[in-house]
A and B are shown apart, each in its own frame.
Chain A
């Protein structure tokens, strides 16, 4: 009886710890060693577009985390039923639905953010990181692992765009999360002293420069070489 043997096997197999070494690796790998932006160089467009200020970047990061985790979960749950010939379009449909949901929720509860971000949130659909994780991981792994993997990749993406946004907002607008930092510093030294903001940092060129520097520093430290 095939069902019986399957049950026996299940008993024999020791259950994996909720956060075993392998699973921790799923989350931590994409943070530095296999970062989607700095190592795989995916999702660059949105990293350039939304990072002029911290606040929208944070909203974008949360949206991306939600979309990747939920898409990974959905595809992983359906992995045995999805017909392989139409799997890409199925993935696309799921991702597009999730992105539309995020957009609708933003429009209802954070209208100012919606006005600023709706174009970029829509573009999460084309973010290669999302489709990449679905195709490479979720289609062949169990739901819980898929959630961890998606969460790791999304975090890897998020901390990079937040770091870029931090420098761009600080140097370009002289503020962090909308709080004027430059004015405060100038105030300490009296009226004559003032820090000038750098207009270059507000344009996408500034994001390229910051991103390039981050990649440079990271690769110097990890010794990663492109093959």
Chain B
């Protein structure tokens, strides 16, 4: 049966409207739940830098949020290490909502740099470690993570890395606990206070126990490893002014964006 053009057009319009309504309705209903899931995932990643993976896994979603609430304080700093509390329109900035990936597209000087402070329960001044987000490019797509520094602002307490599309079994291994554990106890500054970061070496299977700025590499994933190296060096570099201010004990001050 050959339908008329009018019928086809009417049918298409009705179908489009019905499907469109269905989709936008679902998105409306599920939107808040999705936001919560994203938020939880984000906080889990932050906590992952300072907590053992098994410990974190054992927590229920509400427990993760409660733990985060009681143990993590956050602030946002700019490239000079000054605290930023409001955006140009005077709205308060919350570190958890700062999208590091989006900020990465801006010039380093214009980016916002969130800092998450892991502290003793109920006492925000008794910091245990400082968790800094890092972001960069792997072989295929973006890679990101969090680096937790001890109170000397030099020794790495722990790291967590994530990636979007690295090769499974090769570059994707940066998410493995065993690989991330290699960073523990390494140092990011040398004795002269210069930023050395931690460099993943080429090849795998060597012991870099005594070397403060080197970790064992990923066999077959040199480009991803280089991406991780660049990410750490660049991003921690942007935090250097903040870390130095923090170390010298001077107040970080409040920056005014204009």
Contact = CB atoms under 8 A, between A and B. Distances in A.
Interface of A: 52, 81-86, 89-90, 93-94, 97, 100-101, 104-105, 107-109, 111-112, 114-115, 172, 199, 202-203
Name A's interface SS. helix
24 contacts: A52-B168, A83-B3, A83-B11, A84-B1, A84-B2, A85-B2, A90-B12, A90-B15, A93-B19, A94-B19, A97-B22, A101-B22, A101-B26, A104-B34, A107-B37, A108-B33, A108-B34, A109-B33, A111-B37, A112-B41, A114-B37, A202-B168, A203-B168, A203-B169
Contacts of A105: 26, 30
Contact of A93 (B16, B30, B40, B168): B16
Given A105-B30, A108-B30, A115 B41 contact: yes
A105 B11 CA distance: 28
Contacts of A114: 37
A98 to B, nearest CB: 10
Nearest to A201: B169
B23 A101 contact: yes
A139 to B, nearest CB: 13
A83 B30 contact: no
A129 B19 CA distance: 22
B107 to A, nearest CB: 29
Interface string B222-245: 000000000000000000000000
A100 B23 contact: yes
Q: Among the interface residues B7, B34, B40, B41, which one has the most CB atoms of the partner chain A within 10 A?
A: B34
Contacts of B3: 83-85
A79 B26 CA distance: 25
Given A85-B8, A107-B37, A199 B30 contact: no
B12 to A, nearest CB: 6
